[in-house]
Amino acid sequence: MKLVFDEKALVDLVGIYNWIAKDNPAAAKAVVERVFASTEHLATFPQMGHAGRDAGTHEWAVPRLPYIVIYEIHADRDEVVVVAAVHGAQEREGEG
């Protein structure tokens, strides 16, 4: 399957980078690179995550990082679409 990052997911990753880069730009770069590299596995193993909080989504915890990648599987288009990347402790819509 093809791995695609939608605009919101890319904005999330820029936000993650910017947050970490305030204190350590090298660490920020390493974290975002690890998220991208680890997420590439979803193209081959799209079912490795678990059912997401929102219908039709899946969630996968990035190994050794506190981030969760939220994605959709579109078998008809042969695509895995990453729709968000969030910190595991981050409050999400509908929580609170």
Mean pLDDT of the chain: 92
pLDDT digits (tens, 9 = 90+) for 49-69: 999 999 999 999 999 999 999
| Per-residue pLDDT, 94 | 46
pTM recorded for the entire structure = 0.89
Question: 67: closest CA among 89, 48, 49, 50?
Answer: 89
Question: pLDDT confidence of 88, banded at 50, 70, 90?
Answer: confident
- Per-residue pLDDT tens digits for 24-55: 999 999 999 999 999 999 999 999 999 999 99
- Domain positions in the chain are 2-87
* pLDDT higher than threshold 70 for residue 74: yes
Q: CB count, 10 Å around CB of 61?
A: 14
Residue 48 structure tokens: 């490795």
Q: Which pairing describes strands 2-5 and 50-51: parallel, antiparallel, or unpaired?
A: unpaired
Q: Which residues pair with 88 in a beta bridge?
A: none
- Beta strands (DSSP E) in the chain are 2-5, 50-51, 58-61, 67-74, 79-87
Grade residue 96 by pLDDT with cuts at 50, 70 and 90. Answer: very low
Superfamily of domain 2-87: RelE-like (3.30.2310.20)
C-alpha distances in angstroms, 94 versus 3, 32, 54, 56?
27, 26, 10, 17
Listed in sequence order, the residues at least 6 apart from 43 whose beta carbon sits closer than 8 Å to its beta carbon are 1, 2, 3, 80
